[in-house]
């Protein structure tokens, strides 16, 4: 429905005889005002006369538009209700699954604790030492896995730092070369200027000695 209002607004704005521009919201508001006014007028006429009068083509078009609008609203409401019911059902099923999982986990933990207490009663200190040794081995295994994961990361970090330092040194060397080149060029320009002035002074001195202007 929104696309229809947008198309109607575009056609209205495209018409060169229109004196203002509109948008889809304004078109929708005008349509529903017209729809409501027509429904009230139709109800008033029907209540007064008791029979339906012959409709003009414009009124027939309005009737069709009202029927389509009501049908669209009914479909939208039905889809919304169906979607809400589906979401509620999924939520309910998800809650049931979560409750069942928590129940199984609680029962499993309780049975595990009972079995562990029974083994403790039977095995005594020997079982305790065995479990402590197993836990220590597991902890050592976890530490080895962590170290194995961290070593490549540290190596990669050092490699990136070394590469960054190398690039920085290359940049400094390049900047130093540019600076030296600029200083050398400035020195050459200065020597050239001094040589030109010296040559001019020599010629002027020769002219003075020879009496030439």
The tens-digit pLDDT sequence of the chain (213 residues) is: 677 777 877 887 888 887 778 887 887 787 777 777 777 777 776 666 666 566 677 766 666 777 777 777 778 888 888 877 777 777 776 666 666 667 666 655 555 555 555 555 555 555 556 555 555 554 555 556 655 656 676 777 788 888 888 888 888 877 777 777 777 887 777 666 655 565 665 666 565 555 545
Residue 90 sits in the same domain as residue 16: yes
Residue 184 sits in the same domain as residue 128: yes
pTM score: 0.27
> To which residue do tokens 């600076």 refer?
179
Q: Which two tokens stand for residue 205?
A: 């001195």
Residue 10 sits in the same domain as residue 101: yes
- Residues 60-99: b if buried by 16+ CB within 10 A, e if exposed: eebeeebeeeeeeeeeeeeeeeeeeeeeeeeeeeeeeeee
Residue 129 sits in the same domain as residue 186: yes
Residue 12 sits in the same domain as residue 87: yes
Q: Report how many domains make up the chain.
A: 2
Rounded to whole angstroms, the Cα distance separating 136 from 143 reads 11
Whether 117 maps to a domain, the answer reads no
Whether 112 maps to a domain, the answer reads no
Whether 119 maps to a domain, the answer reads no
- Domain containing residue 101: 2-105
Q: Which two tokens stand for residue 167?
A: 């690039």
Domain finish residue from 76, 105, 134: 105
Whether 34 maps to a domain, the answer reads yes
Domain finish residue from 48, 78, 105: 105
Residue 46 sits in the same domain as residue 94: yes
Residue 198 sits in the same domain as residue 167: yes
């Amino acid at each position: 429905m929104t696309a229809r209002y947008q198309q109607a607004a575009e056609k209205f704005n495209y018409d060169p005889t229109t004196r203002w521009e509109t948008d889809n919201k304004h078109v929708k508001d005008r349509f529903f005002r017209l729809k409501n006014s027509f429904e009230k007028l139709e109800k008033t006429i029907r209540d007064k006369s008791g029979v339906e009068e012959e409709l003009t083509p414009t009124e027939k078009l309005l009737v069709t538009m009202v029927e389509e609008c009501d049908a669209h609203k009914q479909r939208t409401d039905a889809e919304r209700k169906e979607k809400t019911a589906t979401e509620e059902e999924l939520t309910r099923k998800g809650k049931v699954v979560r409750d069942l999982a928590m129940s199984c986990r609680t029962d499993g933990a309780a049975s595990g604790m009972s079995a562990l207490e029974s083994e403790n009663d039977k095995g005594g200190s020997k079982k305790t030492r065995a479990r402590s040794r197993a836990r220590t081995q597991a902890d050592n295994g976890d530490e080895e896995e962590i170290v194995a994961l961290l070593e490549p990361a540290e190596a990669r970090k050092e490699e990136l730092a070394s590469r960054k330092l190398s690039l920085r040194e290359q940049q400094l060397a390049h900047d130093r070369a540019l600076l030296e080149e600029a200083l050398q060029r400035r020195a050459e320009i200065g020597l050239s200027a001094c040589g030109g002035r010296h040559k001019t002074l020599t010629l002027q001195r020769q002219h003075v000695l020879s009496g030439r202007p």
